[in-house]
Amino acid sequence: DQQVKQNSPSLSVQEGRISILNCDYTNSMFDYFLWYKKYPAEGPTFLISISSIKDKNEDGRFTVFLNKSAKHLSLHIVPSQPGDSAVYFCAASADGAGSYQLTFGKGTKLSVIP
């Protein structure tokens, strides 16, 4: 039972354009959402997060949108740069008896073409 789904395994975008990565979740108890970026043979690097009480959070070129009714979130990268090429993981957490372990999607590989 996959509670966090990233339905697009890969995405190619031209440099300078917008990259939109999507994520759907099924567990209505999730109250905190994060995006991580991962290069091969490295650990996931935190990018941006959003609490369920918000619908948008922005940090520089990165914006995360949350649609709770649709159980959907998206990450927008504007403008996309070649250095953004990596695997992006969506993650979600819910308070489970004092433990906020993350549930991850399977990732979307973003390729930004110069």
Partner 1 sequence: DSGVTQTPKHLITATGQRVTLRCSPRSGDLSVYWYQQSLDQGLQFLIHYYNGEERAKGNILERFSAQQFPDLHSELNLSSLELGDSALYFCASSVTGGGNTIYFGEGSWLTVV
Residues that bind partner 1 (CB under 8 A): 32, 34, 36, 41-46, 49, 89, 91, 93, 95-107
Pick 34 or 77: Cβ nearer partner 1 = 34
Neighbours of 45 (CB within 10 A): 11
Q: Which is nearer to partner 1, 34 or 112 (CB)?
A: 34
Q: How far is the CB of 51 from partner 1 (least distance, A)?
A: 9
User: What is each CA distance from 44 to 4, 14, 53, 54, 104, in whole angstroms?
Assistant: 17, 24, 25, 24, 11
Smallest distance from the beta carbon of 77 to partner 1, in angstroms?
19
Return the residue matching tokens 């009480």. 53
